[in-house]
Homo-oligomer: A and B are copies of this chain.
């Protein structure tokens, strides 16, 4: 039951935090170091630690080839408590068989021993090349160094955000503050401030259902694990599971959130919707950053579908359009090829009537009732030159709607993926 009074009060405000780091919320330390997995010498190990055991919730890849760190972390997250997240980049520890599971367990154990916490309270994530065993001597030394480098400082959060990247071209962070307050006879009294910080990596292979994508979120709110899990799943549905770069989903993806209660403010079922909005905002921001950094991407494309028979059918249509290589190359070419949008809507499994569909690019209507209408070429061309483009498809069959984000498809996508050698 939502407490609407609290949620809609104008005193409840969220502020996008200039300090988006995962070390923004109270009680979280982090580090990002070069341990030597990547031949490039770039940072390749990150550690996030909560001073006090935190509630944990996490969502994992649905790929049946889930890598050992995913299998292990799913088990560790299931008890609802975590103290640390250890992440390496440069090697995904995927397709590594029994050795891979032993190595993931060793990463958790070594981290726990170094920090003096329970092994089951350590979450492990890996990203990078597939099919090569982790260099465990390097990993062991790295964990010790990462623990030494731990700091509450914002720089430490930035280092961690850098250390989880692979083919990404920039760090991805977002932060928000939620101010809860009461108005009492004209006086406004703070009830509490909670912070949420997040970091992510993506680039290529990003489809819904968690693809070569890692995101870690911290908050100093007090939230019991079941509620945290429910809120994370809701936020992931409208953010990370609503983006697509090339339709592939990977073996290693996860989104995890730790809530340590250090702010002293408790988020409960009754006052959860405000926190939910803030969490959605953070997740959508991180998800959009991932799409913007899609391999070779030059544009962020939002596909909104309305008027579907249901929200899930709206999402099917939106994803069908967002995953179409023909649609994506047309946006790269800045061409108003609405035919490809209509065609992609037609081959999704959702109900679509060709005599009803309308298509808009930005505020310009291009298609009405399935046929093109005389639109203003100059205005449409101007929209297509923008870095961010909104496509709206109205199926006029019901009240289902959905939004997904994708990027355009350029020569550089092919270049990056054809020249990336195993």
Contact = CB atoms under 8 A, between A and B. Distances in A.
Contacts of A352: 64-65
A94 interface: yes
Taking chain A's interface residues, is the majority helix, strand, or loop, or is none over half, making it mixed? loop
Interface string A309-350: 000000000000001111001101101111110111111000
A413 interface: yes
Contacts of A340: 248
Size category, A interface:
35 or more
Contacts of A336: 422
A389 to B, nearest CB: 15
A130 B247 contact: no
A283 to B, nearest CB: 21
Interface string A216-260: 000000000000000000000000000000111111000000000
A246 B325 contact: yes
A261 interface: no
A421 interface: yes
Interface stretch (A24-32, A48-56, A178-186, A367-375): A367-375
A142 interface: no
Contacts of A247: 247, 323-325
Given A64-B346, A417-B326, A371 B97 contact: yes
Interface string A388-417: 000000000000000000000111011101
The count of identical subunits is 2
Contacts of A409: 414, 418
A13 interface: no
Interface string A54-75: 0000000011111000000000
A343 B131 contact: no
A155 B199 CA distance: 65
A418 B332 contact: yes
Most B C-beta atoms less than 10 A away, residue of A65, A343, A372: A343
A8 interface: no
A419 interface: yes
A355 interface: yes
Nearest to A415: B411
A209 interface: yes
Contacts of A97: 355, 369-371
A78 B410 CA distance: 43
A66 B369 CA distance: 14
Nearest to A351: B64
Nearest 10 interchain pairs by C-beta: A65-B346, A333-B418, A130-B339, A329-B417, A131-B372, A63-B346, A249-B347, A64-B346, A97-B371, A329-B418
5 contacts: A66-B346, A95-B371, A130-B339, A248-B347, A249-B347
Interface of A: 62-66, 94-97, 129-132, 204-205, 207, 209, 246-251, 323-326, 329-330, 332-333, 335-340, 342-347, 351-355, 367, 369-372, 409-411, 413-415, 417-422
Given A64-B351, A246-B326, 14 more contacts: A64-B347, A95-B370, A97-B355, A129-B339, A130-B342, A131-B367, A209-B347, A247-B323, A251-B346, A329-B417, A333-B418, A333-B421, A335-B420, A410-B418
